[in-house]
Structure formats: structure tokens, C-alpha cells
Structure 1
């Protein structure tokens, strides 16, 4: 297992949507919104490609997420340039924590066995070419050498 696994999810970052509920034949059923399910599948595909033949990490992991949102074309050229060099920061939706949730759920069972293994998260949201860059760092099992 390498110490660091990296992959990029192309396109606009998508926040994890709330599960929806409905009643069918007197029973309550739940489903994930289609946009969220599609994005999580895209994350899963990118993670699978990065993992290759490796098995999911079983130790603790640190997760680094860098989300890049498109610069609004409706903005003035001056404001667009300021966003491109990082002066103007994205403070609108999607929420960063919900982007992280979508990444964690999409990579679950592929990059790591369960997202409860994520013990550190470092995340940012900026303007740029729309994408999400993901870095997963595995911590060595601290008890493998203890007798």
C-alpha cells in the first residue's frame, strides 16, 4: 500500500444531498437524490482508478480535499480576475462539509474500508477549473510492531 493515494474528480463539485423519504403502501422508504448518487458514483470511479489492484486501506487515514468552483461568468472582469488569483473566495453553495460527505461516501469501500477510519480532514474551497482534488494518507498500524 502506498503512503499517499491521490485522485481528481472532474467537473463541478456536488454537495451530498439530504436523503428523501416517501410513503409506499403504508411504509416509509428512503432514497438518495439522483444528483448525489451520480456524483458519488463518479467519485467511486476516480477512487477505483487511483487504487488499481490495491485493497482498501484498513488503518486510520487523513483526508485532504481541495474543491474548485467555477468563477461566475456574470461577474465583472475585474472580480473574475480577483477570484482567479485567490483574492475573492467562494462563500456560496455548495457547502464544503457536504462536498466532503459526498467524497467520503463515494470512496467508502474503495479507498478505505469504512469512512469511520478518517481521523483527520483538511479541506478548502476555491475558484478555478471545476474539480475536486483528493489526497488520502494512510497511517501505519501503530500496533503491528507491538508484542
Structure 2
């Protein structure tokens, strides 16, 4: 079983946990929390992978910065220049946290992840989740 879907948003990296100085409790900032909700909504009511081993592929697409020259823009769209905005593991974590409990029981069942960052005309995240039972 394989599920492909697109998250219609610019990628948002997982932020460090913030601490409430009054209570001493950790919390997730609003931007990350809203993005994780968007990821969950984009997945919708598709297949639930339960406790099966799964493989995930993610392609993080970023809009080419408006400050790029025409030549640099073409190079970016051809893949000669890659985005370096934030660490890829933080983007992965924000998507996985949005899918945890919605697409799969727990992210500990993920045995392989392939993730890429690239420039595109429109920002989005393409995700593919694949059940690997029987491979």
C-alpha cells in the first residue's frame, strides 16, 4: 500500500521547544503547531498504517527567492542551486509530528526516510508513505 499526497504550504522547520517561565512546562510555538495541523489536514482520512513498517519520501519545494537574478533563478529551478535555509532534519520532524497518530501509529515504525530540498515555482511538500510488509 502506498499513499501520495501534497502539503500546499511552504515547508516549516520544527522549532526548539519553548519553556513557560511561570510553569516550567515546554510548549511548541504557534507557527510550528499550525503547520503540523496543516500537515494532518492535508493527509485527510487516507490509509492508516497502524503498526506496520513504513518508508517515507519527502520532497520539500521552496519558492525561488525574488532577489535572485534571472540566471540564478534558472539555475535554481534546474537544480544547480539548492535551498540552504534550515536543516533538513527539522523539516522532516515537523512533517512527521503532523502525521503521527494520523497516518501511522508512531514514527518509531518508520524504517527509511528519503528527503530532498529543491527550488520550485510554488512552495509545497510532496510526501509518499509506503507500507513495506512483504518486501
Question: For 1:64, which of 57, 62, 77 is the aligned residue?
Answer: 57
- Distance in 1 of aligned mates of 2:32 and 2:110: 21
Q: Is the 8 A contact 1:59 1:141 kept in 2?
A: no
The DSSP-based 3-state class of the residue aligned with 2:25 is strand
Structure 1 runs (4+) greater than 4 angstroms displaced: none
CA distance in 1, matches of 2:129, 2:9: 20
TM-score scaled by length of structure 1? 0.86
**RMSD of aligned residue pairs (Cα, Å):** 1.5
Secondary structure, in 3 states, of the residue corresponding to 2:20?
strand
Q: Which runs of 5+ in 2 are unaligned?
A: none
Q: Please, what TM-score do these two structures have when normalized by structure 2?
A: 0.93
Alignment partners' CA distance in 1, 2:28 and 2:119: 28
Structure label with greater radius of gyration: 1
- Determine helix, strand or coil for the equivalent of 1:136: strand
For structure 1, the 5+ residue unaligned runs are 143-147
Alignment of 1:38 onto 2:38: no
Q: How many residues align?
A: 134
Residue from 85, 89, 94 that aligns with 2:86: 94
1:57 Cα deviation (Å)?
3.0
